[in-house]
Structure 1
């Protein structure tokens, strides 16, 4: 008799699906493939020497090693949380230590937020497009989505107001250099979004994974900072998710969530149930690294990634056929392509891999309603400028063939 495991799975499992991006990352190990698929940092830019020194310091004594290899509190390594408090205060958000939780990457924070706020059938507001990983984190908790159109200043306010009238549990937003489309929400739009959500009693989940990677223009206040300014310097409406994966290294899996105390208290309970705490040694190493080199290291990233962003935009200008449009991000890791109506990103990807040895992510994956079939996301962060130029030329050649 065959045991039918599928009969035992909870109904929410139907909301889980494989990430197109994770599957495409497997192509990176094929040297012939020029990959624009993964939104990942360049390993050549990792602060390896600083990390080696941090590990060496920890293991110089038995006491240091013992503490690093031991359990720690669920809230996170206290010196690292204190560093985060100082970082957030520099951004205009005054927090107490009990308003910060260290998570195993900001992806875990999104999962916990979904678990905390979403019940079956609850409405969640997202942009169109939005971050695929957020959809993956929220969908197992069986929400319904309302999608808000975007323009070059962020969510369209008329769409947002219509969505808020339906009383979603929260709005999820990546305001800086959004994954996937690279759009940055303008200063005026940020103020309006916070005011509208506060008036409607709708929480905001702010994903700030890319906020430090700005190459042009002046930094804008975070949604958390705008929220704090409206409430005496303290968070009230915004749950802010931060990450060290894009600015330091992803493999340590260290992120954080800051929010009003009542929210963080419940997230801590989820942390205890999920994995007790984020790796102690990883937190200690990260704290040492960011305390020593965070600002100069981020400046180095900005220089390198700006060069690659510029190379991609110049190549698109030079090679793309008429009818194709793209965003011009001020930072981050992504350029968003819109093909002529009726074209299919999935079909183009199949040809790109087989005929041109190029990979990217078809855009439909980033839409809660699976629209956007004629869009694609190109990531420039992990590819050197000469390969970027060649990869864009190959994709443009395929599109010229299609147009012909």
Structure 2
């Protein structure tokens, strides 16, 4: 059989970019949740017991009984207009004056990252990211053959020229800075107002976009509110959203439910129009019925729902912080997030958290996400992400005790 006839020879047929597409360690670890004896701090997913299931059920029934033709039909690529109007009110409450034309509904904020990668990145262009950064964003940008350079919002960035020079060496130019400024995945850290302003100044110097991933912004449990980057960008541009360089990506996945796959992008109309063209080519539009149901649910219970989730996760965060303080050796350190779903644990240099995970699953039956996957440069071997969103008080105490016992065995 010739090579052309060899159906197993797929590697020679793929686009070159496919070599950068790798399985998510987090997605693989989620399979462990089916093993009942595993205490998992791995999947940073919402607790399904907190979903507004009855409200969802009623909304689907109501939408299908009153407006089935529209709910089951094709719709506009921009998104369901009543939901976009609701989102303009929501954005206004967080300091962003905009219109429905500044908003596009996407199939989860992950799709927003993919679309932004497609819109802005040519092969070998540079994406500026934090170290560590959200793994899903790195996967999305990898598909467009991005080169990475690093920003350090709190400790200080390099000179604009140095970023330009490094990007030129890679064969492209800087295109955007991506970050999760509130309760970041994976670290749980929040970027200060001062650091956000410095980032905008750097973006001005480089003439790049700022991609603000705000999936966790609604989940603050303590500390002082910090304005979104997009609202700070608006302030310095006289409140004119058409003059800003920030694109805001929001999501209902963490505040309401992830299963409907609903998020949004907010930004200048010119950019939204381009993103709409990408969506038309990709999937035409986000499912109409899901948008109609979400609109009905958030119109009725959004504030109540978010309050319920905050109280539950606030308690679990406090439980995990207390357990870490109680059991971990002095050689370990961890973040103390003001919200979100994650704590970032750093163990002594020389320990590899991927190897530690294999040993933990074998002996202690505790799962976590090795930190190296969140570093575009492959560093961070001695770090790990712990999620408290799904664990009970007993699981948190037992799991951290077991994990600490394992870490101490390497002291």
Residues 85 and 99, structure 2, Cα contact 8 Å, conserved in 1? no
Residues 319 and 392, structure 1, Cα contact 8 Å, conserved in 2? yes
Tell me which residue corresponds to 2:263: 255
**In the TM superposition, what whole-angstrom CA distance separates every residue of 1:72-120 from its partner, at most 9, and x where no partner exists?**
0000000001111111111111112221110000000100000000011
Residues 92 and 233, structure 1, Cα contact 8 Å, conserved in 2? no
Tell me which residue corresponds to 1:6: 11
Q: 1:135, 1:123 → 2: CA distance?
A: 12
The normalised TM-score by structure 2 is 0.94
Aligned residues: 397
Tell me which residue corresponds to 2:237: 231
Q: 2:222, 2:178 → 1: CA distance?
A: 25
Q: What secondary structure sits across from 1:191 in the alignment?
A: helix
Q: 1:310 to 1:161 in 2, by over 3 A?
A: farther
Deviation at 1:161, TM superposition (A): 4.8
Alignment of 1:164-203 (within 5 A): 164-166=163-165, 168-203=174-209
Residues 164 and 202, structure 1, Cα contact 8 Å, conserved in 2? no
Alignment of 1:5-404 (within 5 A): 5-61=10-66, 64-149=67-152, 154-159=153-158, 161=160, 164-166=163-165, 168-235=174-241, 236-403=244-411
Tell me which residue corresponds to 2:169: none
Does 301-310 or 225-234 show the bigger shift? 225-234
**In the TM superposition, what whole-angstrom CA distance separates every residue of 1:331-360 from its partner, at most 9, and x where no partner exists?**
000000111011110011001111111100
Q: 1:133, 1:92 → 2: CA distance?
A: 27
Residues 127 and 155, structure 1, Cα contact 8 Å, conserved in 2? no
Superposed CA RMSD in Å reads: 1.3
Q: 1:163 to 1:327 in 2, by over 3 A?
A: farther
Residues 206 and 240, structure 1, Cα contact 8 Å, conserved in 2? yes
Residues 93 and 234, structure 1, Cα contact 8 Å, conserved in 2? no
Q: 1:148, 1:78 → 2: CA distance?
A: 37
Q: Which runs of 5+ in 1 are unaligned?
A: none
Q: 1:171, 1:195 → 2: CA distance?
A: 12
Q: 1:159 to 1:128 in 2, by over 3 A?
A: farther
The normalised TM-score by structure 1 is 0.96
Q: 1:188 to 1:52 in 2, by over 3 A?
A: same
Q: 1:361, 1:193 → 2: CA distance?
A: 29
**In the TM superposition, what whole-angstrom CA distance separates every residue of 1:193-215 from its partner, at most 9, and x where no partner exists?**
12221233121000000000000
Q: 1:349, 1:278 → 2: CA distance?
A: 37
